[in-house]
Chains A and B, each alone.
Chain A
Amino acid sequence: MSDAERPETDRMRRALAELRREIEARLGAAAPAADASSSVDWMELFESLRRRLSTLGMSERSGEVDEFGMDEVVVRRAEPLLDFLLERWWRIDLPGIDELPPAGPCLLVANGSGLLPYDGLMIAHAVARRHPAHVRPRFLVADWLITLPFAQPFLARLGGIRACRENAQRILRGGGWVVAFPEGVKGAAKVFRQRYRVQRFGRGGAVRVAIETGAPLVPVAVVGAEEAHPVLFKLRLPTRALGLPFLPVTPTFPWLGPLGLLPLPSKWSIRFGEAISLAHLEPEAAADELLVSRLTSELRERIQALVEQGLAERPSVWG
């Protein structure tokens, strides 16, 4: 080693030693703190409480999200709960799930029921679990719910997206699956008397999207969800201030407060019908109002028939 290099190496060595001392000093300071926490670390508890408080109302665990805001980590953490709801709470039967298209984009169209989007969550989860392709469909959520504070970030992280044609098209074009509820608020807001009567389908958006993207339409009938939240009647007057279209009155809500939001353990079945392919139609056919409305009412009748079948086959509401 030449003389010129020596001061350089000396200085380097000194710097390294200093660094090592500093690291040791810091680790040494951290170690006793770790010991103390084995009893009760009040500071840490306070800190975690404060952190929780400061992110109140925001989804806590979200990290990287996909382009529509679904968070893999949140979904994975919610899976045990979703499994419980699927298999234990509602004991959901899934006839016809094996006949779903094996691959490629797909538009599932279901009858809406229940104010909260349990049906969308359950269809998405059932397909993700049982279908061999293991895609998790994105479910469309009506405007009034997806724009509500607190609900919006929560639903978005779980895979809900605002129900509009642009969103559905984008997902289907990317090869994803979409669950749509074309009845809209009318479907969710049925009172118990009208249960299982499939309402008018908006403006034929689902059929139009299917024509434009070439994705097959699969009619889906959810039976049992109507009894999970039987809406006895709707309060309309005081709800404008809350931003809700109406306030539902169920046997448990609002009498039991937030507990009343828990769904009843009715027996569900989610019946998947035969896929309707519209791939033979040109994308321009989406502008043909008469064709779209004919296909839409045909789709509605298929879903209604599936619902009737499901109702006829279930022994009782509680299964």
Chain B
Amino acid sequence: MQVTVKVNGEEYTGEIEPRLLLVHFLRDELGLTGTHWGCDTSNCGVCVVQVDGTPVKSCTMLAAMASGHEVLTVEGLEQNGELDPIQQGFMTEHGLQCGFCTPGMMLTARWLLDANPNPSDAEIREAISGNLCRCTGYENIVRAIHWAADHPRVAEPEEVAAS
């Protein structure tokens, strides 16, 4: 079947099997391996991407279901060559050790901050409760998300004009 999915602002059209999961579509068909593939049972959250601005576990969604929708992966977080504050926060606060959970963590955190620019510790921990870190580096992950909350991206003048 044919699908057309907008990924990180770019439209992809391709022929896929209906049973292809979104995570494998992103990794194997588009080569976007920043989205990781972990437990395969919607527990661990390393495969989290945003679909129409909402984080979902891409191992539990068919690529076919994403057709006609917009997907944001970790590769799309940076804008105009500049890292998203959430990425800068993970660097600054050492929010990763092995890095396997990091893309999913960041896409969930980006969604949290879009809805709640100043979350408490408890709100952050609740938001990322579907993203597991096997290094158990949660302290620094929470700090990284706080860092991003404290350093929001400054809207560029042309973006303001465009909107």
Judge: A and B partners, yes or no.
no
Binding site for B on A (CB under 8 A): none
